[in-house]
C-alpha cells in the first residue's frame, strides 16, 4: 500500500504509557506499578502486572513496549537461573541489573523498553537500579514511564532517607495514585511488591481503594 493511501492510524507512531517506581529502605525494597497497557488511544489490557520476577528476591518493573520489556525480563530470568546454578548461590541484584543493561544497550536500536531492577541480596541488602539504553545507576528510588513526568516534583519533595518499610509502601502507593490520576496512559489497579531478607510480599490495590488527593 502506498504511503498515505490507507487509514491514518496505520502510519502513526503507536504511543505506550505506564507508571513504575521502586524505592530502597533499610533492609529491603518496595516496587510498584499501575496496570494499564495502552496502544495509542486504546486500552488493550486493564490489569497487566508490570512487576516481573527475575529471581527469588529480584524483580523488575516494566515500561515502554510491553512485548520488548517482557522479552528482556524473560531472557534475564533464564540467564540468572543458569548463573545461580554455576555459582551455587542466589545472584546479586547488581548482576541482574547488569544483564538488563547489556541487553538494552546491545539492542537499543530495535527495542523500546525501560526496566527498573530492584531486590535484596546478602551482600548489599535492598537495592534499586535504573537501566535505560545501556545506562546503569543505583539510586535510592527511581520512577519511570509516561506517568513519572507528573510526579517528579512529588517524589523529590516527599522522599527522605531512612524511611521505614511502611512509609516506603505508602510513598509508592501515593506516587502511583497521583500519576494514575493525571496520566491518561496509566490506570487500573496498583501492584506492589515488598522484598526483604525474610519474605517477598505481593499486593494488589484496587482503583477504588487508592488514596485520593485534592482534585479527586
Cell numbers representing residue 109 in the block: 536500536
- Between CA 187 and CA 18 the distance in angstroms is 8
The CB-based long-range contact list for 82-86 (8 Å cut-off, 24+ gap) reads 84/55
Say which of 5, 16, 18, 137 is annotated catalytic: 18
Asked about 194 being catalytic, the answer comes back as no
- Between CA 61 and CA 21 the distance in angstroms is 7
Helix (H, G, I), strand (E, B) or coil at 202: strand
Instruction: List CB contacts of 153: < 8 A, sequence separation 6 or more.
Output: none
CA 125 from centre of chain? 19
List the catalytic residues.
Answer: 18
Amino acid at each position: 500500500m502506498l504511503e498515505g493511501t490507507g487509514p491514518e492510524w496505520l502510519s502513526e507512531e503507536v504511543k505506550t504509557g505506564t507508571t513504575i517506581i521502586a524505592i530502597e529502605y533499610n533492609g529491603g525494597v518496595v516496587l510498584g506499578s499501575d496496570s494499564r497497557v495502552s496502544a495509542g488511544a486504546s486500552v488493550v489490557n486493564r490489569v497487566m502486572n508490570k512487576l516481573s520476577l527475575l529471581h527469588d528476591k529480584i524483580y523488575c518493573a516494566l515500561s515502554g513496549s510491553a512485548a520488548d520489556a517482557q522479552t528482556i525480563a524473560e531472557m534475564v530470568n533464564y540467564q540468572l537461573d543458569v548463573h545461580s546454578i554455576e555459582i551455587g548461590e542466589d545472584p546479586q541484584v547488581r548482576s541482574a541489573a547488569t544483564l538488563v543493561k547489556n541487553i538494552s544497550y546491545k539492542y537499543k536500536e530495535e527495542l523500546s523498553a525501560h526496566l527498573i531492577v530492584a531486590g535484596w541480596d546478602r551482600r548489599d541488602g535492598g537495592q534499586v537500579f535504573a537501566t535505560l539504553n545501556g545506562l546503569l545507576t543505583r539510586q535510592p528510588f527511581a520512577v519511570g514511564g509516561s506517568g513519572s513526568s507528573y510526579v517528579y516534583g512529588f517524589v523529590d519533595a516527599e522522599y527522605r532517607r531512612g524511611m521505614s518499610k511502611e512509609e516506603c509502601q505508602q510513598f509508592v502507593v501515593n506516587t502511583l495514585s497521583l500519576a494514575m490520576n493525571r496520566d491518561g496512559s496509566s490506570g487500573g489497579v496498583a501492584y506492589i511488591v515488598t522484598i526483604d531478607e525474610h519474605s517477598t510480599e505481593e499486593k494488589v490495590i484496587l482503583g477504588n481503594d487508592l488514596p485520593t488527593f485534592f482534585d479527586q
